[in-house]
Amino acid sequence: MADVPVLLSGIRRVLFSQKKDRESILFSIQSSIFNFRMHHFHYIKDELYCEDVPVTTVAEKVGTPFYLYSHATLMQHFKAFDGAFSGMKHLTCFSMKSNSNMAILRLFSSLGGGVDIVSGGELYRALKAGVEPVKIVYSGVGKGVADLEYALRSGILMFNAESAQEILKLNEVAERIGKRARVAIRVNPDVDPKTHPYISTGLKENKFGIDIDEALEQYSVAASLNGLHVAGVSCHIGSQLTEVSPFLDALRKLMRLIGRLREMGISIGYLDLGGGLGITYDREDPPHPEEYARAIQSELGTSDLTLILEPGRVIVGNAGVLVTRVLYTKPTKEKMFFVVDAAMNDLMRPSLYNSYHAIQPVKVSGREKVMADIVGPICESGDFLAKGREVERFDPGDLMSVMSAGAYGFSMSSTYNSRPKICEVMVKGDRFYIIRERERFEDLIRGEAIPDFLKEGQEARQGGLG
């Protein structure tokens, strides 16, 4: 249960940190406790468990590699986040791009959550999982006509429009099918989220949202259109933020905008602050959701706005791991390579962002430590899960767990190198459930076709398309 050394090290970190005032010490201790209880992956007698299930047991049943999620952790994180806003009128719309498995969507929806979507495919999944349409918000810079129509007909809560042309297109679609679309403008507030450039979204140079300086003009347009009902203001400044201040900078700008809109007679009911709260992958010390919520509340004061939050990573990131098996160990003159059966197509984050995921043995052997690269079977030098990492000297056949892989793990996976997508498993207590089957080779070629002229030999081949 309790991992006392982790708690103590968290408290030690707080006491020796720069933060000296009582409030921030209190929050940091809370945050350590949150981190300390942040997931239900733990060792019993040197063996890694997810809740009450040994990880080895799951590997024996489903093979490797696979994603493994803890139901208790998912619940705990959703409740911790949503509960932090309980003093405010709010809706937590889980950002399903971080993890779109239907079982996970159903779980959050059963806890009262909605979702933030960015495509027609995500809408389809959400509806199939049982998410209520009136709890769905739709962001994204490139919403196509078919997807706009699908979302309108489904009766979603709100479209977060990201360009002047999208506002007009949404109006056109709504008028054509005799509906009125509730719309917010996703504003680009030009705030630096101080995170990886690929996941910064609220700077002027980013493609997202409408420049805050042009927002008033676009709101006037939207308010004049018969197919639209202006309902809110939204923004999302980036992901994996480890400080509260950028959120507050953005919020202040949005509140000023809402004030101006009200003066113009445009009333705003929803304030969508997006997602972005970070997690601990390595040594990061992000704010606890309580601290984040309290800071927002004090900025908002006694506002009558309904707050929408779009958290993704903070809820699922530390609730899932990727389990993989060592295929080969490969010592070279330069370094040691552990070649495992998971690859960049299964977990893209290390290759894409050079991001850190802790590597833990599923059975602690007590062998000496070595510096190694953990690499996959894909034909790219960029195919790695960890680089220059001090890990146990693994042997072929050993299982390892790539930690904090619940967000942007499976959802970003592909079949590159014709590797079937891997399976996903959820543990609840002492039982586990396959929530997505491992794909088979047949799934790889589903939908592909060889035209007759290629089947029929030389003569047909010369006939061409015409």
Ligand X SMILES: Cc1ncc(COP(=O)(O)O)c(C=O)c1O
Which parts of this chain interact with ligand X (CB under 6 A)?
95, 97-98, 116, 139, 236, 239-240, 274-277, 310-314, 407
Closest CB 160 distance from ligand X, rounded Å: 7
Closest CB 144 distance from ligand X, rounded Å: 17
CB nearer to ligand X: give 71 or 97. Answer: 97
Torsion 107-108-112-118 (CA) sign: negative
* 392 touches 369 (CB < 8 A): yes
The DSSP bridge pattern shows strands 336-340 and 369-375 to be parallel
Closest CB 153 distance from ligand X, rounded Å: 22
CB nearer to ligand X: give 114 or 276. Answer: 276
CB nearer to ligand X: give 55 or 277. Answer: 277
What CA–CA distance (Å, rounded) separates 32 from 280? Answer: 10
Closest CB 371 distance from ligand X, rounded Å: 31
CB nearer to ligand X: give 92 or 345. Answer: 92
Distances (CA, A) of 319 to 28, 37, 141, 199, 268: 21, 11, 29, 21, 35
The candidate with the shortest Cα–Cα distance to 201, out of 273, 291, 282, is: 273
Q: What DSSP string runs through 289-357? A: HHHHHHHHHHHH-S--PEEEE---HHHHGGGEEEEEEEEEEEE-SS-EEEEES--TTT--HHHHH----
Closest CB 59 distance from ligand X, rounded Å: 28
C-alpha angle 33/38/44, rounded to 5°? 100
Closest CB 355 distance from ligand X, rounded Å: 13
* 239 touches 275 (CB < 8 A): yes
Residue 455: count of CB within 10 angstroms of its CB: 9
Closest CB 188 distance from ligand X, rounded Å: 12
Three-class secondary structure of residue 26 per DSSP: helix
CB nearer to ligand X: give 238 or 361. Answer: 238
| Residue 257 in tokens | 């905008």
Rg (the chain; Cα; Å): 24
Q: Residue 423 catalytic?
A: no
Torsion 250-256-259-265 (CA) sign: negative
Three-class secondary structure of residue 233 per DSSP: strand
CB nearer to ligand X: give 116 or 398. Answer: 116
The conformational region for residue 266 under phi > 0 = left, psi -120 to 50 = alpha, else beta, is beta
Residue in 50, 93, 235, 379 annotated catalytic: 379
The candidate with the shortest Cα–Cα distance to 127, out of 144, 109, 141, is: 109
CB nearer to ligand X: give 251 or 407. Answer: 407
Closest CB 85 distance from ligand X, rounded Å: 14
CB nearer to ligand X: give 231 or 374. Answer: 231
Instruction: List all residues 6 or more positions away from 211 whose beta carbon is below 8 Å from its beta carbon.
Output: 187, 188, 190, 204
Residue matched to tokens 């003569």: 459
Helix/strand/coil percent split, the chain, to 5: 35, 25, 40
Catalytic residues: 379
